[in-house]
Amino acid sequence: MDINGSAVQSQSGLPSPCPRDRLLSPDSDMDVQGYKWVRWRVWLCRLAAVLSLGLLLVVFHWRPRLAVLARCCSCPLALADILLIRDSFDQRHVVEVLTVEMEDGSVELLGELEDNEWRDTVQLHKEEKTLLRYYLFEGLRYIWMARKGAFCRVSILNENWTRKDLYDFQKGLSHLEQSSRRRMYGPNLIDVPVKPYIRLLFEEVLNPFYVFQVFSIILWMVDRYYLYAICIFLISVFSIVFSLYEIRKQSITLRNMAQFVTNVTVRRNSGVEECVSSEELVPGDCLIIPQEGLLLPCDAALLAGECLVNESMLTGESVPMLKTPLPTGEGRYSSETERRHTLFCGTQLIQAKGGGSDAVAVVTSTGFFTAKGSLISSIMHPQPTDFRFYQDSFKFLFLLGFVAFFGSIYSFVVLFRTDVTWLELVIRSLDLVTIAVPPALPAAITTGTIYAQGRLKRQGIFCISPPRINICGKVSLFCFDKTGTLTEEGLDVWGVMEGGTAGFSELVPDPRLLAPGPMLSGLACCHTVTLLQGKPLGDPLELKMVESTGWTLQEPEGDGKELDAEFGGHRVLAVLKPPSGGTTTSEAMAIVRRFPFSSALQRMSVVTVARGGHSPLAFIKGSPEMVASLCRPETVPAQFSSELSRFSSEGLRVLALAYKPVDGNTDLRTIERGEVEKDMRFLGLLMMKNLVKPESAKVIDVLRLANLRSVMVTGDNILTAVNVAKSCGMVGVDEKVIFVNATPHTAQSMPTLNFSLEEGGAPDAQTSIVTRSLYQSGFDLHLAINGKSFAALCNHFPEYLPKVLLRATVFARMAPDQKTQLMKELQKLNYRVGMCGDGANDCGALRAADVGVSLSEAEASVASPFTSKTENISCVPLLIREGRCSLVTSFSLFRYMALYSLIQFCSVLVLYTVRTTLTDWQFLFCDLFVVTPLAIVMGRGGPGEELHPCRPSASLLALPVLGSLLVHTCMIVLGQLAALFITTSQDWYVPLNSTLFGVANLPNMENTSVFSLSAFQYIIMAVVVTKGYPHKKPLFFNWMFLSLLLVLFAVTTWLVLYPGPVGPLFKLHNFIDMDFKMVLVAVAALNFLICFVVEVLVDNGILNCLRALRGKRQSKKQYKRLNTLLCESPSWPPLNQTLSPTEQTVIQCS
């Protein structure tokens, strides 16, 4: 057996509203290596740990992989005690292989119920007892599967369950079955560990930042910097205590949100119903759902009854959904495709209706394998942030360490020539490292994000992933859902048009005016509207549709037997009654079977009966294209396509209805969806007006002026989507729309790809003229593509995909998984992608995007990193402005902290050269009373009022950043040397004692002059590096920062001119010459002027001349390079040409 193995991903993915894929689930593609303990190695490491005074254990804590390699030897996975896991993000994790003893008889029992792989799993180590070998990773349990030669998710045992299997579980599990499954699957808990304070303290203290702090404090204590060391120690203790409190508080908050234990009722195979703890639930348990509902502790497939469910906690969707029983049959069950029949963990069941009894469901997933568990896991273990700013910050720290290394060498040489002791020589050299590498740098750069998060919260935008705030500042493309996001949630019925073999009738503006018949009955019955406390509840579209007919909804009361008897003994779900009075001849109809709407199927259907159980009819409602494809061709009017195009192009939401009589001998309780939804008779079209929100056009215009691309991703008709795109400004009045039509491979035809202009395209003779004008005559083009064409494009025309993505503005009829795939494909082009939706069908896309914004009433749902209570997209520009402000602030703080270290580094080196140093109080004044307050308040202020077309840089190693830092460092050195040389050139200058070194030489003139100028430089650099326009408000808006600057400038000036009683405390030399003191202030003013002018010149591109010398380089971003190539090609897109995958007529992106 090979040593290496893989963690096998279940084929069905996670049963969740959010698809679980490689991007959203870091553990879906892992490399696992096995290791076994070696006793002598373990004892040798223990001895080395003692001899190194615990230093080896600290290294092992930082690098667990080294601990495994040092203590273990590699072995096959089947024999491993320890596993080394490398996830899809190339991060290493160490986990321990655990075992659990299985009960006698459970092996044979489970072998009958599960896949044969289970026998091999438990019989691998069958000695005196049967053991199950498994490990836990990010909450998920992986069990050893001998035939696969790998550890697999325990969910693999139930991922191939069919609908028939689930209905077989309806009889319940025995106690032995339940106990065995509980040992195998583990407890039904989403366990968020809350570490005790002692462990948190241990882990926090071993953080490299605090280890460096401890090293620094010990060094300062040895050097007798007692006061400074004590202050830093107290600050570190306060920081640690605050950090521990925040970490534990967040863990408790997440645990309270995640962990839920309640009592539930389950059915046993004996028929007895037992009340058990939800912690004991396992896949296969038959769950009895009470009529009053409950908060669901697991994922379950609904088998009997109907449930009204509030899923806002998971999806952000505030409208409750009606869940219906899972259809029977042999088909494989998947919670993703059967969402309308699946009850998800963490959702609130408002009420359950079982037709006189309780609703029944079968548990399909528990713990972290549930929908809620997946989302909680994504919060606990977020994917690594691939953001250049964070990557460059660590590289920059190494650069400062490199500077410290050379500074230490210089100080060693200088001090060696002064005949100091070896202890002092080492201490002084190491002290420079603590000065050049500021340990507070990582903490300082987060203050801008903290301020931005607070401002966003006050604006009704909640964030569960603060690092993504900075990423908002680099967003280059924003995707928007249509319904409820760009357009109003509510719809108004615009009209109805009946259709048949003779064509379409006249448009009827009010459904009440329809003659009694199937069309009116279909509008009244084909929906999932339900009653809650007597009020209709459901999808806004269906509510408007039912309301427009004037029919009233009635639901069974009590056991519902009276209504059942009234309608022929069928189990009645709801009754629709026509309005009383008038001349209507319609009769009441009862809904006896529902197949709810599915985004993947683009339709829903119902089966109804009249009183006495007569005249059973099936109705279907959905997208016109889908409904027409399910109808008998002769019943679809010849004008179907033209009428649909006409209404859709006017921006109307168009739905089609169809019906058919059902054979009276059919058992309506068991009839399958496929049987209902075929050979239908076309009824007509329902048009609904969906108005664009007034804020949408304004926001899209703001984004367009800021050079941010806007894209629409919707499940609606492509023509309706294009009309909305024009209404909200995504597509300009003079801009062209080109439809992309791709067909998949079929038995009769090869895949094809075609680009055609809207409104029928252009004649062949004009094609080249129109194409040329799109680029050369000022016209911009927008591509529009639907979900089917997008799938065919990805599968058969991957070489065209980047070009289509670059120009596409409208993606219509997109399924939820296609929206997620689109986010990832756009990211492959190096776009920073934002997504704004309602959180329901967009859940996967919201989490896959770099910045996901859910418009939801929930304060902080886990559907996306950001949740906005604003019901329109006006939150998007605000979020981007805050992101840019936070990013610019982080840049300013990083540069300031680096320059602060370099100022102090230069001061110490200059003073070492002349055999003196800074005092404790001088260090304290600079670090605690100048730099720390400035760094804290520098991030205040707020974002600029407008979005600027130019985005802020995210690279700390870019030429402008490094160039300005180099110039400022030179000015710092020159300023301090100027102060020193001006002092030594004075007539009254008295050289210090050359036989003494350090504090023994204090006070002296050199120390006082260098310290005085450096104190000004800390304030100068705070002003110079603080950026304002265009991404941040000007400096004077940050009144706290401005006030602090003025106070510190006044205090520093006072220290220079009139030190008074503070002079002896700071050990400052008392200069009598006032002119000399004024010269020092003048040198500081000149230093400020030069640095400020240099910064302004750098901001305005003075260093671009250096880039001109190296020649023009291509952008590193693929979408920019591709855009340049396409703009130079007048032959793309090839209009009105049918392309096949074999034709190489595309532009290859080099």
Which residue is catalytic, options 223, 299, 481, 920?
481
Q: Where are the alpha helices (DSSP H) in 272-370?
A: 312-315
What is the token pair recorded at 607? 């089966």
Q: Closest Cα to residue 349, out of 304, 301, 285, 306?
A: 306
CA 931 to chain centre: 35
Let me know if 539 is a catalytic residue: no
DSSP 8-state assignment for residue 171: G
Contact status, residue 383 vs residue 154, Cβ threshold 8 Å: no
Cross-strand bridge partners of residue 1094: none
Q: Where are the alpha helices (DSSP H) in 437-571?
A: 441-444, 447-458, 467-472, 518-525, 540-549, 561-566
Rg (CA), the chain: 36
Which stretch of DSSP H or E encloses residue 532? Answer: strand 530-532
Largest CA distance in the chain: 119
Contact status, residue 634 vs residue 604, Cβ threshold 8 Å: no
Q: Which residues of 168-183 are buried (b: 16+ CB within 10 A; e: fewer)?
A: ebeebbeeebbbbbbe
Q: Cis ω on the peptide bond leading into residue 661 (within 30° of 0)? A: no
β-strand pairing of 72-75 with 30-37:
antiparallel
DSSP 8-state assignment for residue 693: P
β-strand pairing of 866-868 with 461-463:
antiparallel
Q: Closest Cα to residue 873, out of 859, 857, 858, 853?
A: 853
What is the token pair recorded at 213? 């702090």
Q: Which residues of 526-551 are buried (b: 16+ CB within 10 A; e: fewer)?
A: bbbbbbeeeeebbbebbbebbebbbb
Distance CA 792, CA 744 (A): 5
β-strand pairing of 681-689 with 709-713:
unpaired
Torsions phi, psi for 843 (to 5 deg): -55, -50
Helix (H) and strand (E) counts for the chain?
A: 40, 39
Distance CA 827, CA 848 (A): 10
- SS3 label, residue 808: strand
Residue type, 668: L
- SS3 label, residue 865: coil
Distance CA 619, CA 603 (A): 11
Q: Closest Cα to residue 443, out of 894, 1082, 1052, 749?
A: 894
Active site residues: 481
